[in-house]
Amino acid sequence: MTTPPAPVPSRVLVLNSGSSSVKYQLLDMGDGARLAVGLVERIGERTSRLVHTPGDGGEPRERTEPIADHEAALKAVAEELAADGLGLDSPELAAIGHRVVHGGLKFTAPTVVDDEVLAEIERLVPVAPLHNPANVVGIRTARALRPDLPQVAVFDTAFHTTMPESAARYAIDVETADAHRIRRYGFHGTSHAYVSRETAKLLGKDPAEVNVIVLHLGNGASASAVAGGRCVDTSMGLTPLEGLVMGTRSGDVDPAVTFHLKRVAGMSTDEIDVLLNKKSGLVGLCGDNDMREIRRRIDEGDERARLAFEIYVHRLKKYIGAYYAVLGRVDAVAFTAGVGENAAFVREAAIAGLEELGLVVDGELNAERSSRARIVSPVYARVAVAVVPTDEELEIARQTFDLVSANSLA
Ligand code: AMP
């Protein structure tokens, strides 16, 4: 009797650890199956909740019990996976891929985590105080649970490290900037990378041949200019506050607004931080950050909601124009994330009036609801307008799997 061959590890667990939440997905890179999707939220509170959905569209299971910290959260996730025969001890698990928000200048590609890499991610906490600490805790906890398994960090900033200095530097004193690592890093990189590549696929072209403007419009929002598969500019900067109008973030403001608020309004640095990051953007302008609600209010004649929408669209148009000029030639403008994928009226308003740039949307194609990547401009349009659903978890899993496969062949 011969023993069956050991299964080749082809599964990747993707972890996205936030300050009080952990999102996760288990993907099989062999057949592309999504084996589990879940979320633990309100970690550290009495009302913590874990929602675990097995397979593609399986029946969700919910646990409501106090989950004290990230270690307890990951243990609960491991239990849910084990209940479906997909435990962390499975020999089919190839690696764990971690979303890490800030990789600074050092991490330009996905990286297998060792003690030194973890220490460097911690050294970046001052430039990403809201995100990197939770990412570090997530990696530490996962390493403790499976010390033998490769843990891979996939950085939100990595895709933007190809930006030329002319786009990445602020025009401030060079010594001061360098001493404090102040420059434009950009975020949402995993999404911009995935969407620009999928847009090239949609056009039937190699990513190296096409120039794309990617508009990632979720609650956080950013634009990027991608030339031949490489990012040459992006709208977020040192932190995710710069650029487009977002759900609760202001995006671009004159930096003098901050010292004015300090000197004239007597606000503290922390208060200004909260104002610009949490109480501005659409919420600050009209009290709502959900585009569906804003649309409903506009339809009822609400002037504040209409003005908030106009400011949002005006900023978006400015970035489309700026990145058109940066790229010189544009093959496609791709909309993605919650607003970009679902709000046809935002796409229509952002592209309206740009016919001279070769940009037009087809009303019918644009209004169609679909979860597939698609082109919504008419066939005669010089520049394609595309809607490309983003999939950051798949991109993290792909990058993680490619890295561990390459390492095991080496
Ligand atoms: P995300 O951060 O990518 O999950 O996007 C979340 C945002 O997408 C929400 O705050 C809404 O503004 C927006 N959104 C989600 N679904 C729709 C929809 N059907 N129509 C318009 N906006 C939507």
Q: Is the pLDDT of residue 410 over 80?
A: no
What confidence tens digit (pLDDT) does each residue in 78-123 have?
Answer: 999 999 999 999 999 999 999 999 999 999 999 999 999 999 999 9
The count of domains in the chain is 2
Predicted pLDDT of residue 32: 86
Residues with CB under 6 Å of ligand 1 are 218-219, 247, 289-292, 337-339, 342-343
pLDDT top residue among 356 and 6: 356
pLDDT tier, 8 (very low <50, low <70, confident <90, very high otherwise): confident
Q: Is the pLDDT of residue 390 over 90?
A: yes
Predicted pLDDT of residue 56: 67
Q: Is residue 52 part of a domain?
A: yes
Closest residue to atom 10 of ligand 1, CA basis = 290
Q: Is the pLDDT of residue 155 over 70?
A: yes
What confidence tens digit (pLDDT) does each residue in 124-134 have?
Answer: 998 888 888 99
Q: Separation of 341 CA from ligand 1 center, angstroms?
A: 8
Predicted pLDDT of residue 127: 83
Q: Report the chain's mean pLDDT, rounded to a whole number.
A: 95
Q: Is residue 224 part of a domain?
A: yes
Does residue 50 sit in the same domain as residue 142? yes
Q: Separation of 388 CA from ligand 1 center, angstroms?
A: 14
The residue segments making up the domain with residue 77 are 11-155
Q: Is residue 187 part of a domain?
A: no
Does residue 282 sit in the same domain as residue 382? yes
Predicted pLDDT of residue 408: 80
Q: Examine the fold and report which residue of 155, 173, 189 is the final residue of a domain before the chain moves on.
A: 155
Q: Is residue 38 part of a domain?
A: yes
Does residue 223 sit in the same domain as residue 97? no
Q: Is the pLDDT of residue 205 over 80?
A: yes
Predicted pLDDT of residue 409: 56
Does residue 58 sit in the same domain as residue 139? yes
Percent of the chain with pLDDT over 70: 98
Does residue 143 sit in the same domain as residue 210? no
Does residue 131 sit in the same domain as residue 223? no
Q: Is the pLDDT of residue 5 over 90?
A: no
Q: Is residue 246 part of a domain?
A: yes
Residues identified as active-site: 156
- Asked if 282 and 289 touch (Cβ cutoff 8 Å), the reply is yes
Q: Is the pLDDT of residue 294 over 70?
A: yes
Does residue 215 sit in the same domain as residue 137? no
Place of tokens 């979860």: 371
What confidence tens digit (pLDDT) does each residue in 162-183 have?
Answer: 999 999 999 999 999 999 999 9
> Can you give the CATH number for the domain in which 128 is found?
3.30.420.40
Q: Is residue 362 part of a domain?
A: yes
Q: Separation of 133 CA from ligand 1 center, angstroms?
A: 27
Mutation test of ligand 1: which of 188, 291, 312 has the most ligand atoms closer than 8 Å to its C-beta? 291
Does residue 249 sit in the same domain as residue 369? yes
